[in-house]
Amino acid sequence: MTASIGPAGQHVVVSEYGETPLDALAHHVHLEAQPAPDPSTLADTDVVLRVRTCAVGWVDLLMMSGQYQHMVAPPYTPGLEFGGEVAWTGAAVRRVSVGDRVLADGFSAGPRSSGPHQRYGGFSTWVVIPEHAAIPAPHNLSLDQCVNLLGNYETAYHVLVDRGGVQEGDVVVIHGASGSTGLAGVQLAKLHGATVIATGRSPEKLAQLRKLGADHTIQTVDDDGSVRRFRTDVKALTDGRGADIVWDGVGGDISVESLRCLRFGGKLCIVGWAATPFVARGKGKRGAPRANQLPTNIIQMKGLDILGCPAVIATKHDATLRPRRLQWIFDQVEAGRIVPHVGPAFPLSDWDAALRHKWRSVFVGGCVIHPD
């Protein structure tokens, strides 16, 4: 008889895609009892984690309606980046031992991965990950900080270093700077000697961003929610020249106005489209109904570079990208130069509130769910 790994716990389960993330939350996502994994069903190379914390991501929400580019067939558990203690290891596992503090690599474990481990997301008491996804947690970060590290800073490195080629002295505008990835972008740009103009909709969050490292902030919307001519503000901050790089995590009208903010030969880095999330139809139906269009005349006359920056997909096309950026990130962590910002922590029983807060962009940076 095999010894039990531990007591039963709970996990959030997406049973069916919604028409939208909010429809999924209302009708197709539930908290259910979760038995501890049965070792007799696991591979020799599997590791069981007792989850202590999981980041709550914008991508988790889009996945629930099948509106994200990477689809996981329901039923599955959300939660892309999680960490905890090793509770069990298969006979062939060498790199980690029971009791180790581990961060799961979202490329090869959880819903953003492909294969048998993708149904085990971090909104749960127990997860099964393959050994190669178990990353020892950096000693100088809390687990909450660890689960806000890789997705955000790998994205920031890909956008600003590998695609944007950020240089010391550059002026970088970051839209959606209060978001999980945008905040990492602010900090990474500063570490490369850039001047950062962080933008957003809320004066309160912009004040927080100045405390978190942004040199300047610009409110991009008027009281009625329409996008302002913020090119005037960017020009005023750059002696009329314009920015070298724009990080665009917001999309829609913000993208078009951004072209006006760039200097001749500047770069627009397309990160995402938080303002226009429905570029695919709900329920996992594909199809982009003419979303996010840019005027080619401005791009041409200003000699702009428009750069798509998908951090995970690019890595699948060029495997050399990832080791370099991971090395840089872990070196910065070791030196104390990267300390991820963590927003509020929600108990697992409040999973619905945590996701709805993320959808409404209530706080700065990422929040976490604690299964305890």
Ligand X SMILES: NC(=O)c1ccc[n+]([C@@H]2O[C@H](COP(=O)([O-])OP(=O)(O)OC[C@H]3O[C@@H](n4cnc5c(N)ncnc54)[C@H](OP(=O)(O)O)[C@@H]3O)[C@@H](O)[C@H]2O)c1
- Note the helical H segments in 195-285: 203-211, 231-237, 253-261
Pairing of strands 216-219, 342-347: unpaired
Peptide bond just before 340 cis, omega within 30 deg: no
Question: Sign of the CA dihedral 17, 21, 25, 31?
Answer: positive
Stretch that binds ligand X, among 97-105, 140-148, 289-297, 306-314 (CB under 6 A): 306-314
Is residue 310 part of the contact set for ligand X (CB under 6 A)? yes
Residues 175-194, interacting with ligand X (CB under 6 A) = 176, 178-182
Q: Return the structure tokens found at 229.
A: 């001519």
- Nearest approach in angstroms of CB 79 to ligand X is 14
In terms of CB distance, is 88 or 230 closer to ligand X? 230
Q: Determine if 272 is a binding residue for ligand X (CB under 6 A).
A: yes
Tell me the closest approach of the beta carbon of residue 176 to ligand X, in angstroms: 3
Query: What is the distance between the alpha carbons of residues 239 and 236, in angstroms, rounded to a whole number?
Result: 6
Applying CB under 6 A, what is the total number of residues that bind ligand X?
Answer: 26
Q: Which part of the chain contacts ligand X (CB under 6 A), choosing from 74-82, 109-117, 172-180, 260-268? A: 172-180
Of residues 200 and 371, the one with the C-beta less far from ligand X:
200
Determine, following the binding rule CB under 6 A, whether residue 311 of this chain makes contact with ligand X: yes
**Nearer of residues 241 and 356 to ligand X, judged by Cβ:** 356
Residue from 58, 76, 107, 153 binding ligand X (CB under 6 A): 58
Of 1-9, 23-31, 53-61, 326-334, the segment contacting ligand X by CB under 6 A is 53-61
Per rule CB under 6 A, is residue 59 in the interface with ligand X?
Answer: yes
Q: Which string of DSSP letters, residue by residue, matches 14-61?
A: E-S--SSHHHHHHHTEEEEEEPPP-GGGS-TTEEEEEEEEEEE-HHHH
Taking CB under 6 A as the rule, does residue 271 contact ligand X?
yes
Per-residue exposure over 117-138, b if at least 16 CB sit within 10 Å of its own CB, e if not: bbbbbbbbbbbbbbbebbbebb
Q: Which of 55, 96, 250, 268 binds ligand X (CB under 6 A)?
A: 250
Binding part of the chain for ligand X, among 114-122, 273-281, 295-303, 343-351 by CB under 6 A, reads: 273-281
Q: Is 219 in the site for ligand X (CB under 6 A)?
A: no
> What DSSP letter does each residue of 72-108 carry, written as one string?
-PSSB---SSEEEEEEEE-TT--S--TT-EEEE-TTT
Cα dihedral sign, 202-177-53-336: negative
Query: Closest distance between ligand X and the C-beta of residue 243, in Å?
Result: 18
Q: Nearest-CA neighbor of 186 among 342, 54, 340?
A: 340
Closer CB to ligand X, residue 128 or residue 188? 188
**Sequence-ordered list of residues with C-beta below 8 angstroms from that of 347, at least 6 positions apart, any chain:** 369, 370, 372
Candidate ranges 27-35, 97-105, 130-138, 272-280; the one touching ligand X (CB under 6 A):
272-280
Among 153, 157, 273, 346, binds ligand X (CB under 6 A): 273
**CB-closest chain residue to ligand X:** 179
CB of 251 to ligand X, least distance (A): 7
Torsion sign (Cα): 352, 355, 359, 365? positive
Question: Are residues 15 and 28 in contact, defined by beta-carbon separation less than 8 angstroms?
Answer: yes
**Which residue number, 271 or 368, has a Cβ lying nearer to ligand X?**
271
332 binds ligand X (CB under 6 A): no
Pick the closest to residue 138 from 371, 366, 325, 334 (CA basis): 334
| Sites for ligand X among residues 82-121 (CB under 6 A) | none
CA of residue 343 relative to chain centroid, distance? 14
Measure the CA–CA gap between 299 and 47, rounded to whole angstroms.
Answer: 49
Binding site for ligand X (CB under 6 A): 57-59, 155, 176, 178-182, 200-202, 205, 249-250, 271-275, 309-311, 358, 361
